[in-house]
Amino acid sequence: MSNSVSERDSGTVSPAAEPPAGGLAAAARAVLIKDLRCELRTGSALLTIFLFAIVTLTVVSWGIGGRILEPVVQASLLWTVIYFASSVGLARTFVREEETGTILVLHLTAEPLAVLAGKMLFNLLLMLALTVLITPLFLALLSVSVGAPGVFLLLLAFGVIGLAAISTLVAVIIARAHLKGPLFGVLAFPILLPVLLIAVRGTEQALGGAPLAEVSGYLTGLAGFAGAAITVSFLLFPPIWEG
């Protein structure tokens, strides 16, 4: 955490003092880098959710055999795998802090919004990494033909951003309540259902080769949701964090 302290403009080390505007981005980056470093050392988060996604994918494609599924079913399965992976892996960022006691350090040395920004970015990177890894496997195992690749990728990106944003917010709520895993799914799933519905329908169109114009409605919906989720998270985080 010494990086974040030395990057502050003020000469003295004052906990949670008002940092200058540039300090927020720097502090967020510091939180992110800390988490990334932990992750790179152990690789546990990405490994866990990637393995979980592989298992899910295997279970799904095993029964299918060599059959080619309809695009809507393929899309549905892809997002199921991604969602399950997120429900397993994204709560950890805050829960681990509570468990190891470093939550107090975070409270003292970083401004709330910086913590949120750092954590959310970490979750987003994690989910994007997972998606990049699991999607090719998915395409191969289920013999999926992607009609409109660009649109397909856009839908994946926007959907995953919304997923990561809401999951981060729910993770904070769970962590501050000292609760455990199962409640994370209970809380996150209903909020994410509309995202999943839109993502699946849109992805179905993309697999079928629909042009950007036809899918723009879905993209707007997903982008709107992601924007709202991020905004609301930033508004709600200070009261949740300070408790």
| The binder of other proteins chosen from 47, 104, 132, 193 (CB under 8 A) | 193
C-alpha to C-alpha distance for 11 and 6, rounded to whole angstroms: 8
213 is a site residue for other proteins (CB under 8 A):
no
Question: Is the Cβ of residue 138 or residue 225 nearer to other proteins in the bound state?
Answer: 225
Rounded to a whole number of angstroms, the minimum distance from the CB of residue 232 to other proteins is 6
SS3 content of the chain, % helix, strand, coil (to 5): 80, 0, 20
Nearer to other proteins by C-beta: 133 or 223?
223
Could you give the residue ranges of the DSSP H alpha helices within 43-144? Answer: 44-64, 71-89, 92-100, 103-109, 112-141
From candidates 86, 93, 131, 233, binder to other proteins by CB under 8 A: 233
Contact assessment for residue 92 and residue 6, using Cβ atoms and an 8 Å cutoff: no
Q: Which tokens sit at 58?
A: 């295997």
Per rule CB under 8 A, is residue 225 in the interface with other proteins?
yes
Region near other proteins per CB under 8 A, out of 24-32, 96-104, 133-141, 225-233: 225-233
Distance from C-alpha of 58 to C-alpha of 137, rounded to nearest angstrom: 10
Site for other proteins contains 228 (CB under 8 A): yes
The CB density around residue 61, as the number of other CB atoms within 10 Å, is: 19
Residue of 169, 171, 206, 219 interacting with other proteins (CB under 8 A)? 169
Q: How far apart are CA 71 and CA 73, in angstroms?
A: 5
Give the footprint of other proteins on this chain (CB under 8 A): 72, 166, 169-170, 173, 176-177, 179, 183, 186-187, 189-191, 193-194, 197-198, 201, 217-218, 221, 225, 228-229, 232-233, 236, 239-240, 243
